[in-house]
Structure 1
Amino acid sequence: MMGNVDLENWQKKSADHQKQYRQLLQKADKTRVYRQLPDLHEEAFSKVDCLSCANCCKNYSPRFKTPDIKRISKQLRMKESVFIDTYLRLDEDGDYVVKSSPCPFLGADNYCSIYEDRPSDCHRFPYTDEDVLLKRPAITLKNATFCPAVYYVLEKLMKF
């Protein structure tokens, strides 16, 4: 893989590069990008420590789908309705999301108290090893503003 990506001041650089990212996501050779994603994803996470960041858990919410709610409420030994009333609200898209930020399951040490049972959105985030990266460019662009791993992958893709 060519070129290094400097994570210093990445948030400012990501904001400055949103237009280039949008163009990249629109014009990218999908086959070529998809072939590179597994390695880029792994490389990004060898340089980014989620536990020192946790921006995703501090500022945004995953969708809690029915299987997630069933699994987590069972693990917490709560009725599903009580779990929903305690932690969740319906957003404008009709999805269940956490009522408050940061996520109520995020500890002061940035560890997740329900990590083994976390929602599939959390498990899959930030989608840097999935076709979501290109198929949902609005999400990718937003994620690049708060996740250094997404910034890293997009910067690497721009160097090809």
Structure 2
Amino acid sequence: MDELLINWQQKAREQQKANKQFLQKLQTKRGRGVEKLLPDLHEEAFTHVDCLKCAGCCKTISPRFKTPDIKRISKYLGMRESVFIETYLHLDEDGDYVVKSSPCPFLGADNYCSIYEARPGDCHNYPYTDSYEFFKRPNTTYLNSTICPAVYYVLERLKKEVKL
């Protein structure tokens, strides 16, 4: 394990306020090439992070299930959409469908996803460390840094690379 990731959750919680401020400042740097650093940092992070050993995202947060996701997953599971929704989902305060409980009902004891091939778009794109979404939603990113070691890793590497 990379030294940067030792006690990463504790360090991420302790640095939440500073990380939020850093991310907000990064938003103003868009167009100056900062976002071009993300794909390489994303790749670097995943040489140190194994999602199957963590699954923090699946254990603590829910993706949004958009209409195409619901259609695709229902078909994959051989269920009617209404039954899928009734069985697994509820509307959150933002009006998005999310899973009813944590951990995700599709997460196995081995941290494998039982619907991986049909998983929601949010799961496919998570943790957004390779796209502008990383900067676009600083509140989400700094929260994700306490859930996902890859987010924490990319954030820490950015703080070393980008002088604000």
TM over 0.5: yes
Q: Map Cα deviations across residues 115-158 of structure 1 (whole Å, 9 max, x no partner).
A: 01000000000100111111110100110111100000000011
> 2 CA distance for matches of 1:141 and 1:38?
18
Q: How many residues align?
A: 157
Offset at residue 15 of structure 1 (A): 1.1
Q: Confirm or deny that 1:78 pairs with 2:50.
A: no
Report the equivalent of 2:57.
56
Identical columns (%): 68
Q: Taking structure 1 as reference, are residues 134 and 37 closer, same or farther at Cα in structure 2, changes over 3 Å only?
A: same
- Asked if the contact 2:16/2:143 (under 8 Å) is kept, the reply is no
TM-score, structure 1 length as denominator? 0.95
> 1 CA distance for matches of 2:106 and 2:52?
14
Query: Partner amino acid for 2:5?
Result: L
> 1 CA distance for matches of 2:154 and 2:99?
28
- Asked if the contact 2:92/2:98 (under 8 Å) is kept, the reply is yes
Q: Taking structure 1 as reference, are residues 97 and 147 closer, same or farther at Cα in structure 2, changes over 3 Å only?
A: same
> 2 CA distance for matches of 1:27 and 1:101?
33
Gaps of 5+ in 1: none
- 1:97 counterpart SS class: strand
Report the equivalent of 1:93.
94
> 1 CA distance for matches of 2:65 and 2:49?
25
Offset at residue 20 of structure 1 (A): 2.2
Correspondent of 2:7 among 6, 9, 18: 9
> 2 CA distance for matches of 1:100 and 1:89?
9
- Asked if the contact 1:10/1:148 (under 8 Å) is kept, the reply is yes
TM-score, structure 2 length as denominator? 0.92
Report the equivalent of 1:21.
19
Offset at residue 19 of structure 1 (A): 2.3
Gaps of 5+ in 2: none
